[in-house]
Amino acid sequence: MPAILTTIAFLLLAATPGIGYFSQKTSRKWPLRLLIVLLFATSFYLFNWANGFEYALFFSLFLITLPAYLWIYVNSTRKPEKSPKRTHPYQSTASVWYKLFMVIMAGPLALAMAIILSAAITYLLPLLALNRLVVMIMLVPLLWGLIAVWLTATSHLSRTSVILISISCLSIWGLQ
């Protein structure tokens, strides 16, 4: 029975990147995005029922990357449309200090924020101490990547920095 539940959960999880890609191409995005959330929650519940909470967390967070990478590879083999040639290359208008601040925020400070946030998340989970450590080790790279991408993609670095620092302070306060 656990093998059947795990297979069904993985198939539901494998369908989410394709549905996500299809939702970007349609005009009605929210029904498909709701379907993605429901498939993800159902696969987590099935993984949890078949294997336990720790494995469900691992499977749900990291096995979704396999079909996503496969989907990216399939779509990257298509020929891209030719873009018009620019007469001059793109030059950034951001100052050197802004770029330096972004690198510092997306590098070591984002790592510190990810460690603090994952420690606060795992503190709330009903797990043994060793399992909390394993879940924390799995969450740190994921959160660090999300924070770094968010910091480098935003146009309002000060607002994003204030939000992340306040979340980190709340996490530290919650750990005490």
User: pLDDT by residue (tens digit) across 38-58?
Assistant: 988 898 889 888 888 878 877
Pairwise CA distance, residues 100 & 30, whole Å: 38
Low-confidence ranges of the chain (pLDDT < 50): none
Model pTM score? 0.46
Q: Would you state the pLDDT for residue 79?
A: 62
Pairwise CA distance, residues 92 & 97, whole Å: 13
Q: Would you state the pLDDT for residue 139?
A: 78
Q: Would you state the pLDDT for residue 52?
A: 84
